[in-house]
Amino acid sequence: MLSILALAGTLAWAQSSSPEALYDRGVDAITGVGPSQNDPAGVDYFRQSADLGFGPAQIALAYYYETGTVVAVDQAQAVDLYRKAAQQGDPLAGWLAGRHYYLGNGVPRDLDAARKWFKIAADQNSAYGAYYLGRVMADKDYAKADNAKAAALYKIAADQGLPQAQYFYAKSLKDGSGIAKDPFTAYIWYSVASDAGYAAADADLGELNNNGSLTVDQISAARAKARDMEQVVIRAVTARGCSGWDGEFDEFPTPPPPKLQRFCH
């Protein structure tokens, strides 16, 4: 009987100290589940889990190093942790690691490295991975065929509700970059991005309103289609779940905080 109790106790201890359990404790601590909210305790749990190789904990810990909340800023450490999680195939880690290389944050700017990490996320239908990978395709001097890939990637992210992707997809349509010129559809997507609060779209809408590429009736029809499209996009954002932080809709989306990251893997 004693041996059975000892074995049960050993199993319970192993489960409570598993990487997943430590990560869950960290989330509980930072969200205030239990006695009280305790960010330093949460970070400590994330660190213990990350040291055991658990990807979500590595991403959560990297967030604190990147933002300098609770711990001192250490961009190099953040990149290292994002890479470790991305090497396990985590799409959130993929675009967060790629973001550092794309912006040159904590590492030298390297579009080839950024492309590698973004692709991990984009291949798993991550809106952020697709958007950022599209930006790499457009920014780097690849073959013209890559402009078409950029436009297609923007469309994937636009359909999932990213207004910055909606803007760049509309721009591709307006300019005929990698895709046939289509001012009517460009107007629709510019309108959707503008209504979502992406102010850069307003100037492009003004240009399309005044350059004669669309008739008054076409503009009216495009606005109506945009209103219909917005309902679809809103549902897509809700379904995605990974939403609701400051910087989410910046031109270069920022990392989601750990309390939201569980919806982003």
User: Given this model, what pLDDT does residue 187 score?
Assistant: 98
CATH code where residue 110 lies: 1.25.40.10
Residues in the chain: 265
Q: Is the pLDDT of residue 186 over 80?
A: yes
Report whether pLDDT(89) > 80: yes
Q: What is the pTM of this model?
A: 0.91
Q: Among 79, 106, 124, where does a domain finish?
A: 124
The mean pLDDT value for 233-262 works out to 92
Q: Is residue 132 part of a domain?
A: no
Answer whether residue 228 is part of any domain. Answer: yes
- Residue 77 resides in a domain: yes
120 and 154 co-located in one domain: no
Specify the number of domains making up the chain: 2
pLDDT tens track for 52-75:
999 999 999 999 999 999 999 999
Q: Are residues 111 and 38 in the same domain?
A: yes
Q: According to the model, what pLDDT value does residue 142 have?
A: 57
Nearest one of 55, 15, 47, 54 to 29, comparing CA atoms:
47
Residue 102 inside a domain? The answer is yes
Residues 111 and 158 in one domain: no
Instruction: Evaluate if residue 194 carries a pLDDT over 70.
Output: yes
Q: Are residues 104 and 202 in the same domain?
A: no
User: Which of 89, 124, 159 is a domain's end point?
Assistant: 124
| 88 φ, ψ (degrees, to nearest 5) | -90, 0
Q: Give the tens place of pLDDT for each residue, 6-39.
A: 444 434 444 578 999 999 999 999 999 877 799 9
Q: Are residues 166 and 97 in the same domain?
A: no
Q: Where in the sequence is the domain holding 230, given as residue range(s)? A: 150-265
In a domain, 143, yes or no: no
Confidence of residue 140 (pLDDT cuts 50, 70, 90): confident
For residues 156 and 256, membership in a common domain is answered with yes
- Cα distances from 242 to residues 25, 79, 122, 126, 255, in angstroms, run 21, 21, 15, 10, 11
Question: Is residue 182 domain-shared with residue 112, that is, in the same domain?
Answer: no
Crossing angle of the two packed helices 91-103 and 127-139, in degrees rounded to 10: 30
Please indicate, yes or no, whether residues 158 and 117 belong to a single structural domain of this protein. Answer: no
- Domain match, 114 and 159 both: no
Please report whether residue 201 resides in a domain.
yes
CB 97 within 8 A of CB 83: yes
